[in-house]
């Protein structure tokens, strides 16, 4: 490890330790914001693991997340909670692998379209399954898992995602992905199996999103398909990751924190204009900060260095 | 029999939806994810004209289509052309235009939500039963079907028989080469994009006669249009018309035989099959 890496590690550990202290303040407001931020930190960072280097925009986060919720909702009465998390992870991985196999061998557009409809497709299937089974449309999740527990679990998952991302970046797989992102033709010609590299990363990101959904299910206590498979979630994840900068591991988090704080205000003050705000954010990111806040930071850092 | 005619009528509707996107993606190379919202905007415009001025939705086309044409022209000039100029390759343009049109679609949804609220809308116009092979079908669906047929015929003739249509086809095949033979690629693309928008909004005005819609339903139409375009092959207007009928028949069959809640699932099934077995589309040609 180089000196800079050791320094970054220490900074990351200190930040995580500080973040872990939030529930101890006893403030319900900050804890609930903390859970939202931790949720989107995990989701956006894992999203960027795949979409950052490859530039493939995945809109499937909501689908994975909803599956995680439903696994917990359906199984909470029968199986212990950790087993459910494991089942959720496996299911998420399998689904991601199948979607990846069907679409990632082709051009990126197919992938975007497919993932765009995936959450709605699974929602329809779940609804259909529930009506043919004759059960009610919602599920109760009654556990003794408290909100601080959820928060710490999310932080733990976040730590795993960061370690995983750091390791992937250093590995041959990460290198291969960066080449694919720069020029897929070059990647193919230098002997990279582009499809399998992309599928592996998509599986990682889908698994994390599924587990996140499973972790958050106890918080809701009542799950309905329209909540679990909310289409908004996937877009929020994309926006935050791009706002922060998807090309760096630490990028998404610097997008998540400010965005969630503002978003919380917007949803409270203007609940009917959220879509409009979301649209404006999308346009701002595309036209004003195409490389995200991380890109801005790097630009100014390079300029400052150039000045000396 | 009911399924087949119902499916064909639905297919006509889908053909209307998909033709606009076809022009936008095939020629202007913009994957316009705000397509469904433009369609819904057309529906709202027709509703508003019908409720406010008692104007028949069919006649409202005369107003809706030109406005949509100008609006989409402006969207192309001010939002998408900068992206075309900025991007170094097709992949970059695709990512940027997807994100940008997402933004535009959200703004459309937000604005329509602010004006019309979150309720579902429908209105009754020409809901007269009409006998086709001794089965009753609403007259408004048949009018929409005829509208689709006329639009498709005009587009097909224009693209294949006129000089300006030839320009568009040239740009669609290879924009760089088109540029070399003195075609103004940006103008042809803007033209295709605006025309696609006009067709889409016109389609929205026609289908508003029998579809229940709300401000946020556009994405479903976008989905279906995208699936149809890919099903038919990206650059083939005939392909997407056939694909629209395939999708219409499949959805009607699934809705009446299994469960009406599974229409999207049937569309996806078609999508997966085509991705696995014929990714260039039913009528598309293999590229390199």
Q: How do residues A113-160 score in pLDDT, each as one tens digit?
A: 888 888 888 888 888 887 777 666 677 777 777 888 888 888 899 889
Q: Is the CB of residue B112 less than 8 Å from the CB of residue B36?
A: no
| Yes or no, beta carbons of A55 and B104 under 8 Å apart | no
| Residue A245 CA from chain centroid, whole number | 14
pLDDT value of residue A208: 93
> What is the rounded distance in angstroms from the CA atom of residue B91 to the CA atom of residue B93?
5
Given CB atoms, is A287 within the 8 Å cutoff of chain B?
A: yes
Q: Is the CB of residue B203 less than 8 Å from the CB of residue B20?
A: yes
Q: Give the minimum alpha-carbon distance from B233 to chain A in angstroms, rounded to a whole number.
A: 12
Of B98, B261, B267, the CB nearest to A57: B98
Q: Give the minimum alpha-carbon distance from A89 to chain B in angstroms, rounded to a whole number.
A: 24
CA neighbor of B95 nearest in space, from A111, A189, A105: A111
Of A117, A184, A238, the CB nearest to B223: A117
As given in the structure block, the two tokens for residue B253 are 């069959």
DSSP code at position B138: E
Q: What is the dihedral of CA B48, B54, B59, B61, to 10 degrees?
A: 0
pLDDT value of residue B288: 38
ipTM > 0.85 (yes/no):
no
For residue B137, the surrounding DSSP H or E stretch is: strand B135-138
Of B99, B267, B275, the CB nearest to A282: B99
| Yes or no, beta carbons of B102 and A114 under 8 Å apart | no
Given CB atoms, is A182 within the 8 Å cutoff of chain B?
A: no
pLDDT value of residue A44: 92
Pick from A54-58, B136-140, B180-184, B255-259: least confident: B136-140
Which distant-in-sequence residues (6+ apart) come within 8 Å of A223 by Cβ? Answer: A69, A70, A73, A138, A139, A140, A141, A217
Q: Is the CB of residue B102 less than 8 Å from the CB of residue A282?
A: yes
> What is the rounded distance in angstroms from the CA atom of residue B213 to the CA atom of residue B43?
8
> What is the rounded distance in angstroms from the CA atom of residue A9 to the CA atom of residue A262?
29
pLDDT value of residue B82: 84
| A276 vs B contacts (CB less than 8 Å) | 106-107, 109-111, 113-114
> What does each C-alpha distance from B132 to A147, B2, B84, B138 come to in angstroms?
61, 9, 48, 10
Q: What is the largest CA-CA distance in chain B?
A: 58
Question: Helix, strand, or coil here: B285?
Answer: coil
Given CB atoms, is A186 within the 8 Å cutoff of chain B?
A: no
In chain A the first and final C-alpha atoms are separated, in Å, by 27
Of A117, A124, A279, the CB nearest to B262: A124
Q: Give the minimum alpha-carbon distance from A283 to chain B in angstroms, rounded to a whole number.
A: 5
- What's the predicted TM-score (pTM) here? 0.86
> What is the rounded distance in angstroms from the CA atom of residue A141 to the CA atom of residue A80?
13
The proportion of chain B whose per-residue pLDDT surpasses 90, expressed as a percent, equals: 3
- Tens-digit pLDDT profile for residues B67-125: 989 999 999 888 888 888 887 777 778 888 888 888 899 898 888 888 887 777 777 66
Q: Give the minimum alpha-carbon distance from A10 to chain B in angstroms, rounded to a whole number.
A: 35
Per-residue pLDDT band for B136 (boundaries 50, 70, 90) equals low
Rounded to the nearest 5 degrees, what angle is found at the Cα of B249, between the Cα atoms of B246 and B254? 120
Residue A164 pLDDT more than 80?
yes
- Tens-digit pLDDT profile for residues A285-308: 888 888 888 888 888 888 887 765
DSSP code at position A274: H
Given CB atoms, is A112 within the 8 Å cutoff of chain B?
A: yes
């Amino acid at each position: 490890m180089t000196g800079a890496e050791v320094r970054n590690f220490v900074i990351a550990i200190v930040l995580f330790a500080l973040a872990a202290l939030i529930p101890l303040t006893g403030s319900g407001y900050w804890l609930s914001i903390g859970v939202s931020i931790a949720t989107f930190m995990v989701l956006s960072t894992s999203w960027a693991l795949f979409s950052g280097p490859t530039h493939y925009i995945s809109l499937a986060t909501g689908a994975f997340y909803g599956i995680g919720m439903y696994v917990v909702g359906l199984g909470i009465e029968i199986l212990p909670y950790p087993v459910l998390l494991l089942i959720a992870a496996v299911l998420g991985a399998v689904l991601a692998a199948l979607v990846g196999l069907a679409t990632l061998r082709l051009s990126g557009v197919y992938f975007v379209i497919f993932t765009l409809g995936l959450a709605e497709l699974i929602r329809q299937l779940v609804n259909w399954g529930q009506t043919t089974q004759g059960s009610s449309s919602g599920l109760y999740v009654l556990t003794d898992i408290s909100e601080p527990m959820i928060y710490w679990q999310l932080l733990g998952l976040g730590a795993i995602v960061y370690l995983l991302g750091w390791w992937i970046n250093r590995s041959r797989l990460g290198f291969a992905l960066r080449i694919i992102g720069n020029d897929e033709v070059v990647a193919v010609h230098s002997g990279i199996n582009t499809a399998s590299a992309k599928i592996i990363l998509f599986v990682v990101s889908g698994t994390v999103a599924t587990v996140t959904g499973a972790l958050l299910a106890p918080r809701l206590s009542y799950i309905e398909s329209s909540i679990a498979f909310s289409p908004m979630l996937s877009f929020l994840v994309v926006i935050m990751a791009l706002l922060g900068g998807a090309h760096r591991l630490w990028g998404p988090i610097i997008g998540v924190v400010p965005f969630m704080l503002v978003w919380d205000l917007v949803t409270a003050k203007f609940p009917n204009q959220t879509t409009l705000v979301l649209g404006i954010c999308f346009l701002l990111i595309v036209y004003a900060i195409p490389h995200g806040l991380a890109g801005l930071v790097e630009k100014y850092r390079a300029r400052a260095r150039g000045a000396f | 029999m009911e399924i087949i005619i119902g499916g064909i009528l639905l297919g006509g509707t889908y053909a209307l939806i998909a033709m606009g996107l076809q022009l936008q993606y095939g020629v202007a190379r913009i994957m316009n994810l705000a397509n469904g919202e433009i369609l819904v905007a057309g529906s709202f415009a027709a509703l508003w004209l019908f409720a406010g001025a008692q104007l028949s939705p069919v006649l409202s086309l005369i107003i809706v289509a030109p406005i949509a044409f100008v609006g989409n022209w402006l969207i192309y000039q001010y939002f998408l052309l900068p992206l075309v100029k900025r991007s170094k390759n097709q992949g970059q343009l695709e990512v940027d235009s997807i994100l940008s049109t997402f933004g535009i679609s959200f703004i459309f949804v937000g604005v329509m939500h602010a004006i019309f609220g979150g309720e579902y809308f429908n209105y009754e116009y020409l809901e007269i039963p009409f006998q086709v092979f001794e089965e009753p079908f609403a007259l408004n669906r048949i009018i929409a079907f005829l509208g689709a047929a006329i639009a498709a015929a005009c587009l097909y003739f224009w693209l294949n028989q006129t000089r300006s249509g030839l320009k568009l086809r040239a740009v669609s095949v290879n924009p760089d080469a088109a540029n070399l033979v003195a075609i103004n690629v940006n103008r042809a693309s803007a033209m295709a994009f605006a025309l696609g928008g006009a067709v889409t909004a016109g389609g929205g005005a026609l289908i508003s006669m029998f579809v229940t819609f709300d401000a946020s339903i556009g994405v479903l139409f976008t989905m279906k249009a995208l699936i149809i375009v890919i099903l038919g092959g990206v650059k083939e207007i005939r392909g997407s018309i056939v694909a629209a009928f395939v999708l219409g028949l499949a959805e009607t069959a699934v809705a009446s035989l299994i469960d009406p809640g599974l229409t999207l699932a049937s569309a996806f099934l078609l999508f997966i099959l085509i991705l696995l077995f014929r990714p260039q589309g039913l009528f598309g040609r293999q590229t390199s």
